[in-house]
Amino acid sequence: MPSRKESVLVVDDDARMLRMIQMILGAEGYQVFMASNGEAALKMLVAENPDLALLDIMMPGIDGYTLCRRIREFSKIPIIIVTAKGNVQEIAQGLECGADDYVIKPFSSKVLAARVNAVLRRAKTWDKHLEPIFQSGDLVMDFAHHQVTLAGKQIELTATEYKLLSYLIHNAGRLATSDQILEAVWGEEYIGEHLLLRVNIARLRHKLGDDSKEPKFIASRIGIGYMFLKPS
């Protein structure tokens, strides 16, 4: 059970699915806002300022991908996409649009609650670096002010991206396996979710202007994991 009554915006054009999710999350202690389309969801995001958004992918009008991208234009709110049948392409596309996690239909109440709890837990500030400021070339991570800048320009990271970069920097110069990163950043229940990690690493590299073939910051070891290159 959450320690306080956090809120979740659920967006789905299926009224039965909305009611079911409302019951599941309500039983977990969450306040649930519901929207049946993308336009209504955007208005509710502004009006209610929920702690998390749960978006169905397949909706008429503004689909989940488009809605996710539009939310990311103005908000860092954690986003979970809901996809059917575990379609890998759908999952990857949703994560690339800025989602933090995904849930596959059909899902149990236990799985949905666990995903929501985990994403909200990650969204809380997570800084384990000993020094208040870390610098590598023109990249600066200011842990004291929770900011990342590149060549003096602030980089907008989601809570998950920030936590991922923080973990890699904390272990700069050391190769971390994919499962070690997943456990530290997402939680032990995410061990094995290598697609989730790959897409988030790619998204983070893109924001940092990093080239995977000639990396300045994040190096990969195929089949093993990732390492933040230690500043020389």
- CATH, residue 223: 1.10.10.10
Rounded average pLDDT over 124-137: 76
Say how far residue 190 (Cα) sits from the centre of its chain: 13
**CA diameter of the chain:** 57
Domain membership of residue 203 (yes or no) is yes
Same domain, 50 and 77: yes
Same domain, 101 and 197: no
Range of the domain at 154: 133-228
Domain membership of residue 127 (yes or no) is no
pLDDT band of 145, cuts 50, 70, 90: confident
Angle at which helix 194-208 crosses helix 178-185, to 10 degrees, equals 80
Rounded average pLDDT over 151-178: 94
Number of domains forming the structure of the chain: 2
Sign, CA torsion 62/121/158/189: negative
Tens of pLDDT along 10-47?
A: 999 999 999 999 999 999 999 999 999 999 999 999 99
Domain termination residue (choose one: 122, 145, 170): 122
Average pLDDT over the chain, rounded to an integer: 92
Rounded average pLDDT over 182-197: 94
pLDDT band of 219, cuts 50, 70, 90: very high
CA-closest candidate to residue 102, choices 9, 195, 36, 205: 195
pTM over 0.75: yes
pLDDT band of 128, cuts 50, 70, 90: low
Q: Are 197 and 182 in contact (CB under 8 A)?
A: yes
CA-closest candidate to residue 52, choices 4, 2, 6: 6
Same domain, 200 and 164: yes
Same domain, 101 and 166: no
Q: Residue 222: pLDDT above 80?
A: yes
Same domain, 70 and 32: yes
Domain termination residue (choose one: 86, 103, 122): 122
Burial class (CB in 10 A: 0-12, 13-18, 19+), 95: buried
Q: Residue 126: pLDDT above 70?
A: no
Say what the pLDDT of residue 86 is. Answer: 66
Same domain, 143 and 209: yes
User: What kind and span of H or E run contains 208?
Assistant: helix 194-208
Domain termination residue (choose one: 122, 145, 162): 122
Q: How many CB atoms lie within 10 A of CB 158?
A: 23
Same domain, 161 and 87: no
Same domain, 117 and 137: no
Q: Residue 7: pLDDT above 70?
A: yes
CA-closest candidate to residue 23, choices 10, 13, 35, 5: 10
Q: With the CA atoms of 119, 122, 124 and 126 taken in that order, what torsion angle do they form, in degrees rounded to the nearest 10?
A: -170
Say what the pLDDT of residue 87 is. Answer: 75
pLDDT band of 203, cuts 50, 70, 90: very high
Same domain, 115 and 147: no
* pLDDT greater at residue 31 or residue 125: 31
Q: Residue 3: pLDDT above 60?
A: no
Domain membership of residue 2 (yes or no) is no
Query: Phi, psi (5° rounding) for residue 170?
Result: -60, -30
